[in-house]
Amino acid sequence: MSASLMVCRRLAGSSKILHKCVNHGWNAKSVPSVTHPRFWRAMSTAFSGSLLDLNFQDEGMAVVTMKSEQNTLLPKAIGEWHQALDAVEQNSECRALVTTGNEKFFCNGLDLQYVKTFTDLERQLEQYLDELNKLIVRLMLFPLPTVAAISGHAFAGGAILAFAHDLRVMRGDRGWICLNEILINFNFPPVLLALVRAKLAPGPLLTQAVLQAKRYTAEEAVKCGIVDQVVDQSQLVNTAAQMANEFLGKQGIKRETLHSFKKDLYSPVLQAYSGRV
């Protein structure tokens, strides 16, 4: 029996819902502190969909905000993600990408209620996972620094969405990050498991996170190296922007260089990925 068929059969019995590269660099210049009153004045809304928005902020920061109730990764959401990422790459003034959600959910992963509507489960699920793989790999290799500002719960595919970013900052007072696939009998697709292995330290942490589906608070996650910082909710996006600026440094990093280095760094993930990079 194929692995995908096994997943299909397991999903069929589950009732839970837990859940292009522009070669421009940027010139280093002084930027205001994230606490400067004009730092977060929006320059423009580049994309506004039904499930997420993209805003370009002063000093070249792009912010994607997921805005549905649980921010599950429906195909429509994945499509809107690609539209937003296209707009960011087409803006040569953009220097970094920050992603966030709402106050309850950062992202709750695949939408299993949507999966229940499939009439040809194996074929449709395979197609759904292919689209998710494509988005995750695109984010992982994105030619700008990316920071996930984890505003609430990040379960399963939502945690993996956060892992696809270069850095992560999480609010301290609310939310868990958790790979709960084992609890919903959902095998990791090889691409996503390779990403988890690339992002989490081998040994006890991988065992705990993958086989025991531990729910990590922000403080626990930062101690394990799952996230990089913990801050108050009010400072979450500002801190993510500051982290992106620090990632770039004074001299900056050219887009094509960063993209190339990411491909080398995450080659084990790409070996498991059959799609176009």
pLDDT single digits (tens) 25-41: 333 333 333 333 334 44
Give the residue extent of every domain in the chain. 3-271
Q: How far apart are CA 18 and CA 28, in angstroms?
A: 42
Per DSSP, which regions of the chain are E strands? 42-48, 52-57, 61-66, 96-100, 105-107, 146-150, 153-155, 167-171, 177-178, 229-231
Summarised one tens digit per residue, pLDDT across range 43-56 is 578 889 999 999 99
Q: What is the pTM of this model?
A: 0.85
Report how far residue 130's alpha carbon sits from residue 135's, in angstroms, rounded to the nearest whole number.
9
The second-level CATH assignment, the architecture, of 3-271 is Alpha-Beta Complex (3.90)
**Which of 38-52, 106-120, 122-136, 146-160 is predicted with the least confidence, judged by mean pLDDT?**
38-52
Residues 6+ positions from 266 with CB-CB distance below 8 Å: 140, 141, 195, 198
Close Cβ partners of 127 (under 8 Å, ≥ 6 residues apart)? none
For 105, 218, 219, the CA distances from 225, given in Å and listed in that order, are 21, 10, 10
Question: CA–CA distance from 94 to each of 36, 75, 242 (Å)?
Answer: 19, 26, 14
User: What's the residue count for the chain?
Assistant: 277
Beta bridge partners of 52: 66
- Predicted confidence (pLDDT) at residue 216 exceeds the cutoff of 80: yes
- Region 125-132 average pLDDT: 96
The candidate with the shortest Cα–Cα distance to 101, out of 223, 240, 5, 246, is: 240
Contacts of 159 (CB under 8 A, 6+ apart): 109, 177, 178, 179
